[in-house]
Structure 1
């Protein structure tokens, strides 16, 4: 630590800037990470020279660089996104609160009543906490009957799917303006201090070092408000949360009985492409490239 000098840091930054185009943010981002680490090491352990401590008072000697532009989506695209998300949400609510419970109420233990019934197979899925799979059914009754009464088809009557929750997440991002990274990490106790048609949403912003936990005040009440969308998400995911014991908000059943406790960045990107393709969302005749990071500006 004591051997580090300002010229070492500045020389490394110059090296990075020579390797990247002028508009790139990479050199600044890497130097910012290094400066952040050195500042905290200095605060905790000391050992840096006075000249290096003075150098760490600023992040970089050069420009920040530029992001790729993140323009807002047009009103035409926004209306398509809203309508498509609302359609998926309405279908999920009907399936999970009406169709599923109704069919489950008709079911009986298939060991006694037989496996050749959707209601009885759904009963077994519920008994196994969503983890009864097509392969287990095929082992019992054969592939033909397992295909006809597939748990993969029936389980979404009891547990939300990633598609269901993506529609809620998309609409919440659009209505609230909260950053995608923060929305992905919301927990089941994120709603605070509901008052007069508004509610605070507590969220984690990892990049805000020392002040990671923050709140945003959003509209509440109607099913289309940001608060109402989160309350609906809590309602639809309650069954999975009870099984996993995780406080994460976005919990769903994946194929083959796997219960997921959150969306990864890659999963969101995949679901966005699928969402656009399924609903035929376009702009001037071309499919929209849906990036949820643009919804905040939108």
Structure 2
């Protein structure tokens, strides 16, 4: 028996824990796996992290259902972030109201989730700022999940159901639309990109020539650049781990041929040192990098006005087909869920050629040929890489070369980083207006098309946009406004010219009238032989003056005889005045002066003002004939014979 004090304390069995409720069966980590560009990614929501675990689980279930049913391209990442953010806010907000967050649920009435959503929107707006679209996007994602839940759960409170159908409290910030690059900037970017392509092709040609003399460095030695290039075609041999035992740690003690591979300044100073940079520079002699492919991207976007950066970025080799007249591209626009084929013709293709061979020019087929030639060795060395058009070889993790799709998302590899590295012909940095957005290239190409084609908005929108989309996103640019202003000014000038400088009749002198049928005289007056003969015989006399062609009146478009003669003859470009018709014009001038006394000044100017100005101009050219015309009127008793309709319309 144990002695006193040695007795062990009895361990009593604990009472069994209560069985979990039905809700706890569903509180587990929600995980969604999706594949994009050959890589798998996981998004998850762990409701157990939050005190409002039931609410988080319910929203997480709706997130998975909605993402799968709608086949969201990004795996519903935005919605998952919205659910996590809302659950975190509920845990923080409800205790300030004296409410336990665990009581919050979509089918409960203890917590008014409508008020919680409103408070969450206010918090998002204060956190992200007034110019951010994040409050709208997160609230819209949450309301979408609530609306989906309301369609199948009749136990949801009516107020929450109504709130789910309403839009977010704060609309998205419209922001400033991107403007296109100016024409000078477009030319500067184009020339810089062409220089970059030429430099790339020269560098690759130099590296591949050196590769021909390379052998396995394990046999020929690691200190020969050609052998290092040979190792680059076997990526497992050219790694930081393999290179370290072959060279000293001090870069300055490396062999000069190997040290020459590292980037240097103008004075010969090494800019980057180390085995990682050696691997990268050896790879650059054989394979294009992301920054190299950026130049092709710029040139293709400038040459393809109907292709978006997204469609160009995700092109693969099976999407490219060279035909006898150009290249056919199958383009995918993820946002619009649209797949379309587009033919880019070669302007100088041979008519009977079986296949377009590419002439190395800067058009779309030529650029694609040069890009495929530049990445040909990359596809041979890395056969497992996906067949992307923009296949870039970079030094990846663990110092190993690898080929992947060029993302153009890293800070130094974006479009702005590429612009910062470019220089003009004088060696100065390019002066390109900000923001350095690749989407501005597409707008620039659209503007160039607008300048070349002109026409209406429907013509400029083309086949890849609705008219409204073009009006909202492309027609606001500076160049479009300038062109529109020029068109308006040109139209206004035409109207003002017609108002201030109306057409005047042609005055034919007596000498020219006698020789009117001579070809030289008729040609000087803008007449043909038949018109001159008809004018001489009086066949085209309209009662006041002659007319070149009564069936080509500028006052009607139906090819019928002029209906406003002789009322508008003095304002018509077809009118021809002989000196023998000067007395008629003098009588018309006297009649107009009589109307000046009968009519109000405004009324007279509207009816007879332009006629009086035209007569005054004719009289100034034949002032010496006016006295003889008045004597002829007095001696012969001539009178003005105007049609009754003209007197009825103009004289009162």
Short-chain TM bin = 0.7 to 0.9
Q: 1:79 aligns with which of 163, 187, 192?
A: 187
Is the Cα–Cα contact under 8 Å of residues 179 and 443 in structure 2 kept in the other structure? yes
Note the C-alpha offset of 1:70. Answer: 0.7
CA 172–134 in structure 1, closer or farther in 2 if over 3 Å, else same: same
Structure 1 residues 200 and 125, CA gap change in structure 2 (3 angstroms):
closer
Conserved? CA contact 1:191–1:202, under 8 Å: no
Task: Determine if contact 2:216/2:227 at 8 Å carries over to the other structure.
Answer: yes
- CA deviations on 1:176-222 (whole Å, 9 max, x unpaired) are 254434443333323258574352332251x34xx2x5236252446
Unaligned ranges ≥5, structure 2: 1-57, 59-105, 262-277, 347-357, 423-428, 445-652
Partner of 1:250: 390
Alignment partner of 1:297 out of 443, 461, 464:
443
Q: CA deviation at 1:9?
A: 9.7
What are structure 1's unaligned runs of at least 5 residues? none
C-alpha separation in 1, matches of 2:120 and 2:143: 11
Equivalence map 1:156-167=2 (5 Å): 156-167=284-295
Residue 242 of structure 2 is matched in structure 1 by 136
SS of residue matched to 1:106: coil
Aligned residue for 1:296, secondary structure, equals: helix
Q: d(CA) in 2 for partners of 1:14 and 1:227?
A: 51
Q: Separation in 1 of the partners of 2:187 and 2:173? A: 33
Contact 1:109 1:120 (C-alpha < 8 Å) held by counterparts:
yes
Return the offset for 1:297: 1.7
Higher relative contact order (CA 8 A, sep 6+): 1
Any idea what SS the aligned residue of 1:282 has? Answer: coil
Whether 1:170 aligns to 2:298 is yes
Whole-Å Cα distance in 2 between the matches of residues 190 and 107 of structure 1? Answer: 35
CA shift at 1:292, angstroms? 1.2
Distance 1:53 1:190 in 2: 46
1:1-298 mapped onto 2 (5 Å cutoff): 3=107, 11=118, 15=122, 19=126, 24-37=132-145, 46-47=152-153, 59-60=167-168, 63-96=171-204, 98-126=205-233, 128-129=234-235, 132-133=238-239, 136-142=242-248, 143=251, 144-145=254-255, 146-148=258-260, 150-177=278-305, 178-191=307-320, 196-197=325-326, 199-205=328-334, 207-208=335-336, 211=337, 213-215=338-340, 217=342, 219-221=344-346, 223-242=361-380, 243=382, 245-247=384-386, 248-255=388-395, 256-264=399-407, 266-267=409-410, 270-279=413-422, 280-283=429-432, 289-298=435-444
Taking a change above 3 Å as real, the CA distance of residues 58 and 99 of structure 1, as seen in their structure-2 partners, is farther
Matched with 2:580 is none
3-state SS in 1 of match to 2:385 = coil
The Cα shift of 1:235 comes to 3.2
Q: Which one is further off, 253-262 or 147-156?
A: 147-156
Q: 1:233 to 1:57 in 2, by over 3 A?
A: farther
| Structure showing greater Rg | 2
